[in-house]
Structure 1
Amino acid sequence: MSDRDSRHKASMEKLKTRVDEKVANATEQRGLLLVNTGNGKGKTTAAWGTVTRSLGYGYKVGVVQFIKGLWECGERNRLEEDPNLSVAIMATGFTWDTQNRATDTAACLEVWREAEKMLADPDTYLVVLDEITYMLKFGYLDIATVKQALINRPHEQTVIITGRNAHRELVTMADTVTEMQEVRHAFNNGLQARRGIDF
């Protein structure tokens, strides 16, 4: 065996030991709170990937779409026929298009009531609160209300929160926080969002 192969084998043995220790120490079973945030693209797409995974195992899933709900959504189009998927959509679409705080707040609170039902349902394995971070940032929803619903949710239920500038209290609560970092974005260089790729 060459020196390089020997070093590689020794390195992989150490890595396996570390991974095995982490696996052995991971003994708690419960639903998780995941936050996908940051300025990079892919936060909602990652959440829909997890929706697909859960549906693949036959679990009941709820998705609440704030802001982008009236936009075309390839993932939603593909999965909406699944009887285990429930989707609630905020009726106003992009808040920067409506420019009406009262209307947007009312629409947010209406769809939040659907979210609360999902978050209280012990049969719902996964709930996605897509772009809810904006609802908190703009003051349409109160952080205490959202936190209470998350704290009181069923023990086995996982929640994914997506959106830029996630509230620091949600970040503190979360089991896993992933920050999508933008290095370059095609849109900033004049390229339109592409059907089947961006939505």
Structure 2
Amino acid sequence: MSDIKPRILPLPRSEWTDDAREVFAFWGEPNAWEEGSKTNVMMVLANHPAMTQPYNIWSKHLLMGNTLGTRFLELIILRVAWRVKSAYEWHNHVGYGLNAGLTLEEIGAIRDFPDGGDWNEQDAAVLRSVDELIADGNLSDATWATLSGYFDTRQMMDLVMSVGHYVMTSWGLSAFGVQIEGGADQIGFDLKTKSGRIPGKTYKPGETEDWTDTRGY
């Protein structure tokens, strides 16, 4: 399990301006304007509302409006989380991935790619695109050609930008020392939880009325 040491603390209540409260409330958490966000990431990013508000708008497009569809997006995010060792993103997106139809065995195979896993050509190209972009800052002609056989122009653009966005986000979470929420049953890279329970589905903002409760906080 990760032992993350904070470098930027959640914004203290004495500094909760209206701009900071807009950060708390952006994702639709009940009572977030009055009580703050239950997510450590929003409480840390609220230290810089002018940066975080446009970041949130961009993030919402990629997370909720991405033309790739949820399953392919979760392939990307989980592979990014493993490659850059983002414990926070891995923990959160295991549950999102399960909700998108991935199995725990497939999530383990995302981590272990290209070894193991029974991936079809499209899935393998998506996972390979993450590795190429991180390693080379570009896609090979062969990978571009394969992906272009399955995705249209907008999807190709969302794919590349999604990789970059989640690398950037993971860097920020790690560098700022954003901790996994205290009430969460942390999921490690080995797919074991702190409690020993099998990881289950979690929901994105607004997917269910109790979406924060499914995360244990």
Question: Could you state the TM-score of these two structures normalised by the residue count of structure 1?
Answer: 0.30
Higher relative contact order (CA 8 A, sep 6+): 1
Question: Could you state the TM-score of these two structures normalised by the residue count of structure 2?
Answer: 0.28
Higher normalized strand content (fraction of residues): 1
Higher normalized helix content (fraction of residues): 2
